[in-house]
Amino acid sequence: MRDIKTIISKVCPSATFEEGDTLLVTVPEKEWHKFAENLKNNPELGFDVLSAVVGVDWKDSIGVIYYLTSTTHAWDMISVKVVAEDRENPMIHTVSDLWKVANFQEREVYDFYGIKFINHPDMRRFFLRNDWVGHPLRKDYDANPDLNPIRMTDEINEDDTVSYVENEKGEVKAVPGKVFGEDDYVVNIGPQHPSTHGVMRFRASIDGEMVKKVDVVSGYIHRGIEKLCEGLMYPQTLHYTDRMDYMSAHQNRHCLCMCIEKALGLEVPERALYIRTIMDELMRISSHLLSFGCTAMDLGATTAFFYGFRERERVLDIFEKTCGARMSLNYNVIGGVMADIHPDFVKDVHAFLDIMPASLKEYHKVFSGNVIAQNRLKKVGYLSKEDAINYCITGPSGRGSNWSNDCRKKHPYALYDQVEFNEVLEDGCDSFSRYMVRMREIEESCKIIAQLIDKIPEGDIRNPKTPKLIKLPAGRWYQQVEASRGTFGVYIESDGGKNPYRMHFQSPCFNLVGVMDLCCRGYMIADLITIGAALDFVIPDIDR
């Protein structure tokens, strides 16, 4: 780590360092954009992946923490802290020109904290209504419901946007803009639409059947989980993770538990690790089965959908016996798992593993091998590897663009360093590759489970030393796991109390939806549905 400090000091002498969970580099706002350029383009640094953008309000100041990793260098993850100069009218230079993923991330930060990003092309609110009063995650937010009653009027002026442009003299001016031109034929898809997989809204300008531009309007299921977490104790925050990406309930909760355990320095018993790993993989299978079904359904092959759900029910049966629920499982807890596995667990999992290969063959016969399905999926929604990295498209969608980004391989957690499995990669960069990665990942997950299921050791399921009242020491932690749809990250900042000071969830689907505009341009309106299905985002995970 000494090495990186010297390089950074050379590039930006005013940077200060703080050791911790990850190296924290603090740079003054004035130098931030230049420093960011260096971070990305300097061949010695090469931080080309912006993993997370976390806005934080430290009461006396307000700013953003950026988490960066590199695909070309073996650097550990670093974090960069940038503090806005003026707390009342905070402004920070955008990095959305360097890392495209920052486009939506910065809009989210603007929505939550009111931090305006200079030179950002499209500074609209992301989650909340345009007429919302205040920025809810600021510590001085007025939560009086009279300020923000349930407005039953439709939102207006959605086409207007604003950009804060800095001129040569360093003055910042608000420049109004338009999302769509006057003669664009804009089709509104959503929020209630069968193929947006929830309440997402796309506004697509089309030319005939050809999509020219897609504007993502999010926030139709924004529930303010991050703000809610700040008012709860650590064990209470756990249950929200199950309700974000409900198809990765286990992995998300695993991630939050791991983050808290890391902060506490708490060991997890071997038995719990086994159970967690198996559960994660079962969840992944169930998620990919649902994804298979929904892709088929969106393309009009309804029967394949039912076949996918048939097998998924068997996974849910296994969950139900052990966790007591089918969907919101609430199984992982800090220091272990909630309850011991059901006596039938091993038997059921074996039975499931036995039927899965034949079922996969059937899926390929019914759907993947179908000539219409292949024509619909292949060469649709092209996303190059560079774009995937730039937009931080992790998970099966990124691996469909041949970007090896599997957290289970890169930073093994739980028992992933003890099992043999392949990271599934496809180089088609199209919807079909993304789809095939998922199908092949089901096989890999089965392989992982098969290696673990007979070796579950006896012992505690929860660390008996887990404190009754969980208080994290002051500091900040960031933890990633491989959820069903990509890298899921949890950021916790603690002030030493029993509530988190700031909790941020970096969801994979948030980045996936950011790439819709890029992927859909030049394709047909029917392809928009296909691309959405193959990217496979879950809306509550985007909106949180």
Partner 1 sequence: MFDFGVWTSAINDFLVGLFHNPQYDWLVTLIECVIIGVLVLLTYTVLALFYILYERKLCAWFQCRLGPMRVGKWGLLQVFADMFKILIKELISLKNTDKFLFKLAPYIVITSSVTMLACLPWGRGLQIINFNIGIFFVLAVSSVGVLGILLAGWASNNKYTLIGAMRSGAQMISYEISLGLAILTIVLLAGTMNINELVLAQEDGWFIFKGHIPAIIAFLIYVVAATAETNRGPFDLPEAEHELTAGYHTEYSGIHFGFFYLAEYLNLFIVSGIASLMFLGGWMPLHIAGWEQFNAVMDYIPSIVWFVLKAFFISYIIIWFKWTFPRVRIDQMLAFEWKYLMPLSLVNIVVMAVLVAYNWHF
Partner 2 sequence: MGVNIKSMKREDFKDNEYIDKLVEELNATGANVAVGKLDELINWGRANSLWPLCFGTSCCAIEFMCLGAARYDMARFGFEVARNSPRQADYIMVQGTIVHRMAPALRRLYEQLAEPKYVIACGACAVSGGPFVKSYCVVNGVDRILPVDVYIPGCPPRPEAMFYGLMQLQRKIKVQKFFGGANRKEKIQDFFAEHPEEKGKL
Contacts to partner 1 by CB under 8 A: 185, 187-188, 193-195, 209, 296-303, 306-307, 310, 366-367, 370, 372-373, 375-376, 524-527, 529
Torsion of CA 125, 484, 334, 222, to 10 degrees: 20
- Residue 228 touches which member of partner 2, partner 1, none, C-beta under 5-8 Å by kind: partner 2
Dist CA 335 CA 23 (whole Å)? 26
Identify which of residues 353 and 524 has a Cβ nearer to partner 1 in the complex.
524
CB 520 within 8 A of CB 204: yes
Q: Which of 310, 321, 379, 409 binds partner 2 (CB under 8 A)?
A: 310
Question: Which positions from 170 through 199 interact with partner 2, judged by CB under 8 A?
Answer: 191-194, 198-199
411 binds partner 2 (CB under 8 A): no
SS3 at position 406 = coil
Q: What residues from 240 to 269 belong to the interface with partner 2 (CB under 8 A)?
A: 240, 243, 246-247
Nearest Cα to 272, choosing from 250, 242, 244, 239?
A: 250
H/E stretch holding 162: strand 160-166
The reply on whether position 148 binds partner 2 by CB under 8 A is: yes
Closest CA to 256 of 226, 287, 297: 226
What is the DSSP code string of 306-320?
A: HHHHHHHHHHHHHHH
Distance CA 493, CA 495 (A): 7
Quick check: 55 binds partner 2 (CB under 8 A)? no
Binds partner 2 by CB under 8 A, chosen from 32, 47, 127, 319: 127
Q: Under a CB-based contact definition with an 8 Å cutoff, are residues 536 and 291 in contact?
A: yes
* DSSP assigned state of 27: E
Distance, in Å, from the CA atom of 376 to the CA atom of 13, rounded to the nearest integer, reads: 53
Taking residues 431 to 470 in sequence order and writing x for each that binds partner 2 by CB under 8 A, - otherwise, the string is ----------------------------------------
Closest of 1, 39, 3, 56 to residue 23, by C-alpha: 1
CB of 155 to partner 1, least distance (A): 19
Q: Buried (b) or exposed (e) across 329-364, using 16+ Cβ within 10 A?
A: bbbbbbbbbbeebbeebeebbeebbeebeebbeebe
Q: Which does 143 bind (CB under 5 to 8 A by kind): partner 2, partner 1, none?
A: partner 2
CB of 500 to partner 2, least distance (A): 15
Binding status of residue 140 toward partner 2 by CB under 8 A = no
Of partner 1, partner 2, none, which one sits near residue 539, judging by CB under 5 to 8 A according to partner kind?
Answer: partner 2
Which positions from 508 through 527 interact with partner 2, judged by CB under 8 A? none
ω into residue 90 within 30 of 0, thus cis?
no
Give the CA count within 13 Å in the CB-facing half-sphere of 5: 9
The CA radius of gyration of the chain, in Å to the nearest whole number, is 23
> Cβ closer to partner 1: 330 or 370?
370
Question: Which of partner 1, partner 2, none does residue 258 bind (CB under 5 to 8 Å by kind)?
Answer: none
| Shortest spacing between CB 245 and partner 1, in angstroms | 22
**Residue 187, binding choice from partner 1, partner 2, none, Cβ under 5 to 8 Å by partner class:** partner 1
- Smallest distance, partner 2 to C-beta of residue 40, A: 34
Q: Which residues contact 225 (CB under 8 A, 6 or more apart)?
A: 240, 243, 244, 505, 544
Q: Which does 180 bind (CB under 5 to 8 A by kind): partner 1, partner 2, none?
A: none
Using the rule CB under 8 A, is 151 a contact of partner 2? yes
Cβ-based nearer residue to partner 1, 162 or 206: 206
Query: Using the rule CB under 8 A, is 129 a contact of partner 2?
Result: yes
> Which region, judged by CB under 8 A, interacts with partner 2, from 95-103, 273-281, 301-309, 416-424?
301-309
Interacting residue with partner 2 among 23, 380, 539, 542 (CB under 8 A): 539
